[in-house]
Each structure stands twice: as structure tokens, then as C-alpha cells.
Amino acid sequence: MRKIWFITGSSRGLGRSLAEAVLESGDNVAATARNIDQLKDLSEKYPGQVLAISLDVTVNDQIQKAVSSAINHFGRIDVLVNNAGFGITGAAEAFTGEQVRSQLETNLYAPIEITRVVLPYMRKQRSGHILQISSVGGRVGNAGLSIYQAAKFGLGGFSEALAKEVAPLGIRVTSVEPGGFRTDWAGDSMAYAAKIEGYENTVDRRTELFQGGSFVPMGDPEKAARVMIDLVNHPEPPVHLVLGSEAIALLQQADLSRKEELEKWLPVSVSTDHHESVSFLDTKEGRALVNLKGNN
């Protein structure tokens, strides 16, 4: 049976690669973009398989209409892919209020709202898979990307909690966390804050990397698309899926640093237990277990 995919940001980048791969595999796609003229070639190449939908993911009324259109046309949504988004680079204090709001609205609030609109249909079906296109930047923080990564950290946390919430309903959730991929993320899809004094050796270096053309990502979006198609057919998909060797290296280093910091400050951490509590530290598992007297 053909799956029905609902993919946001289908006109470019990873969303475009995924839409093409899904259609090539024989499934159907509700493909959304702010400008659906950019989806015309897909509709022509795959007649009957594509429903092109105009959608600005930051407008709630449009979200409701887009999801309803997909349901009315195809009858269901089996896979939701929250892909639409953009990057933004600069010092935290240098962003305008509008830049901060726009980033959070697009990269965090929008996928949350789209997920909330689609969930009732998946709940009634007792099936579905939600792919949140996050980033390794949702697990590792870096200078110059504070607002972008605030959104991605939030999306990762939302996805992890949601996965536990909807698992009994037959709905699976995966936070897809790529490193650098050869899309236009660091090109046309990247916005910038104005430069300010004091960040020459941190934020400005990242800005120069992106704007200077020397940033050559290792990831292949077509390979990532094939992985995601396999993912939704896997009987036990992960809650977090990191993509790319660059991302793996960053995450391994971050995990090591966090473990070292946790162990260094462990005495301070456990010193805050209430005096009526009995604390147990299971060092083998790396877990701190606290049992309050009378609540064991």
C-alpha cells in the first residue's frame, strides 16, 4: 500500500531531495512550499502522486487548511516531515527581536503546531510516523548559532517527549539530526545578524566561514532522503537519528565533555538533596536515583 507523505519545505534543499525520492519509490506526497510554482515540475513528472499545497508554516490558518487539503485528497497522512526552516548566524545580543521571533516561529513553533494538527488524524488511524528535521545543532551548541540552536534544542526535546506520549497509539517520532549537508542551508537559506565588536574570534569566524564559500559540507541530501524512506519502514526506528560522520564526531566530543563536567561537579549536584532523602548513585549505569522517605 502506498504511503501518504506530508512534507513541508518541498521546493528546495533536503525537502526537495526527499520529495523526489519518495515519489520515485512510488509513494504519494502532499508537497508544501510558500511558492507552489516551484513544485510544478514534480506535479508534471509524477501525475496523480503529488498534491502541491501553498503553505507558509508560520501562519496557523494555512497549516489547518494544508493538512485538511491533504486529508481530503489522499484520505490519510502516514508520514509527516517537518522540514521547512532556515539558518541564522550572529552574536546572541546582535539579533533583532524580529530575527529571533522569525527563527523560533519557523524552526520551533511551526513544527510543533503542524504536528499538533496532524496528530488527531494519526491517533484515529492508530498509526503514523513523524520526522522532525532537526540538526546536530539541536544536541551541540556552537558560537554564532545560539538562536538557531535554541529552536533545534527545543524541537529535539519536544520530539523526545512526544515519542513517549504517542507510542501506545502506534505513532512513531524521530528527530532527524544532520550535520552539514550539501543544500543551500549555509547559502541562500542563511540569515545574519549585524556584526558587533568583541566577537571577532568566535562568531565572526563562523560568519566568514559561511559567507566565504570555504564551507563544504560532507553530507549528501540524496543519501539522507533514502535513509529516511528506509527509516519509516523500519519496525523499530530510533527517537534520535544523527546523519553524517561530521555530526557524529561533534556529538561524540560533546558527550565526552558533558560526561567529564558531570563527574567533576557530581559532589555539588548531589549535595542539594533534602536531608530527609536517601540518595543512591549507580555509577555503573551512570544514574542518580533519589528515594524520598515514605515515598519508596
Q: Which of 10, 11, 134, 159 is catalytic?
A: 134
Please pick, among 69, 135, 152, 199, the residue that the annotation labels catalytic.
152
**Known catalytic residue: 192?**
no
Count the neighbouring beta carbons within 10 Å of the beta carbon of residue 260: 10
Q: Where does 189-291 have alpha helices with state H?
A: 203-211, 221-232, 245-264, 266-270
For the chain, the helix, strand and coil percentages under 3-state DSSP, each to the nearest 5: 50, 20, 30
Catalytic pick among 46, 109, 148, 199: 148
Q: How many residues does the chain have?
A: 296
Residue pair 129/171 in contact by the 8 Å Cβ criterion: yes
d(CA 143, CA 224) in angstroms, rounded, equals 26
Best CA proximity match to 52, nearest among 98, 110, 9, 115: 9
Active site residue 148: yes
Specify whether the CB–CB gap between 27 and 101 falls below 8 A.
no
Q: What is the DSSP letter of 193?
A: P
| Single-letter residue type at 176 | V
Residue bearing cell 533545534: 152
DSSP 55-70: --TT-HHHHHHHHHHH
Query: Is 152 an annotated catalytic residue?
Result: yes
The three-class DSSP label of residue 184 is: coil
Cβ-Cβ contacts under 8 Å for 145 (sequence gap 6 or more): 87, 88, 89, 137, 206
- Using a 10 angstrom Cβ sphere, with 0-12 exposed, 13-18 middle and 19 or more buried, the burial of residue 125 is middle
Catalytic residue positions, numbered: 134, 148, 152
